[in-house]
Structure 1
């Protein structure tokens, strides 16, 4: 059995890494399972150097489609053309896609048109926000997926509501948490820790990347001003994209407690997150990691595709209105933030459950 494992962006590689580990163990046990790791080249990320793969024990891709940048349509077309050539040269038995990037949708479409079955890791999650490209990618992918690997009972319900039969839904947990737990004792102290003399629980981490927050200069300025006013003079560590940093400089956003730094590696960033008093973010993935590490998380979004981080975990969705920051920070600093728990099956064994399913399925 040959499985194509598709990855298009850095988070994808972190999500498929434990699956590859599990496949390798199955191979050693004599199971008939092989894989090709296919990097679509959708995102260029300077942090995805050889050290990225070596740090996290991820094998280097077998094939790089080199799809590159461009518009959504240009990326989708380039990925589809590239992956079609791969399958025409040597057909796989299954196309395994993960998450919600353009590569996920594009490769699922190509595979189905060439009669290759599709399995989707992180299937069924929904934000309900059609202005997000990721939401369209999720919906299209799940509309043509054969086997659905889900992270929560909520995702299962979403799929059932869309008419997917229980025999095709497999509640397995979260592979991103597999990677987190595997590497938790290997986190690396970043240079900023000693440079600022940081102490556990005595600083905050912020990440912002969604266009609604960073592309509207007035909104970004007001958000940052409100955050800085209410951090009670604790250091605010902001690993920031250079474009956003430039915007903040133009807007004159600066403060003695604001430390804008280069984006960090996975192991360095999570060292900071694990020891922070709280994280302020608009990222979905970070809300999962803070939930497992028990770190308060304030999410500047109006919706989320990971509601279990709110109903079970440490995350609170406060919206994008800057006025919502003050009450959230008061709640945090008064010690009233919820403790939270860990969602079912977020236990570091998700990949093994996925591979066990794959070995039982008939392609």
Structure 2
């Protein structure tokens, strides 16, 4: 079981959208009161606030390589902002949706913005020409989320019509006409689907719905099918994400149980693209947290640092710079859980390793005399 470590928390109006900056310690939060906040979560400082939307702002995203922010709101508008420190302002507004805009996203390579709306459509916009280049239809109710695939020419969308729909562009993804083909429709939820997301590397989709379930789907070239369902929430599940690095799914919902909070419904989750950081937005603010400690278990003795890395107890000699693997700890827990503490006994040349678990697991092991580099 992973441990949640709170790194930053703020109080505000209800948070409906969150987005991490890929390289700077910045987090954008879109609020139900119409404000968009830009936080430095490392310093705990509100860097700036954008307030040009009329009504709740539900969608927010930060560009993967440029100093741009995009937002979508209940005023049917999509706004693109410059977030450079000396020139923070709204650059332009995109008009076209006929109802609330639920989510927005920048494409990872092309100058495109993806938006999902209660008008039952998904739109793709060219941020250079500032035109709508595609309108994707197929849902028969509010489109709650839409997301580009991280590598392939696919979009996955979730709707209150109880389906997830991956759309495939005709031919190459960069020659859009005003249509797209629906590759497959994923049916299985009993109530409206609030969110769907691709796995970063595997052909998997995760979906979260009002039936209190999280479902995992596998894709092939010709079909997609349900492979598992996760139950445990006691109310609508707002968001579910694959962990970028580990075999985990992180979810939040309206059952007030996330982080053991008694009065806050959680609406949105965001995962940092590179770091072990997540953000969650609820009725009264947001929280930034880690799922595990990144500092390894370690102990110093003389000029030698004993520590755990890549499932090995290692010895690093400060004087010579040699770094030697001494002992495998792969058997430590199933699935493997990184040791929480390491203690070294020089008299016995032994280590005690402990992990956080219900059983209070620990192990005393003598280190081998003839260690080899690993």
TM-score by length of 2: 0.25
Greater Rg by CA: 2
Which protein is richer in helix relative to its size? 1
TM-score by length of 1: 0.25
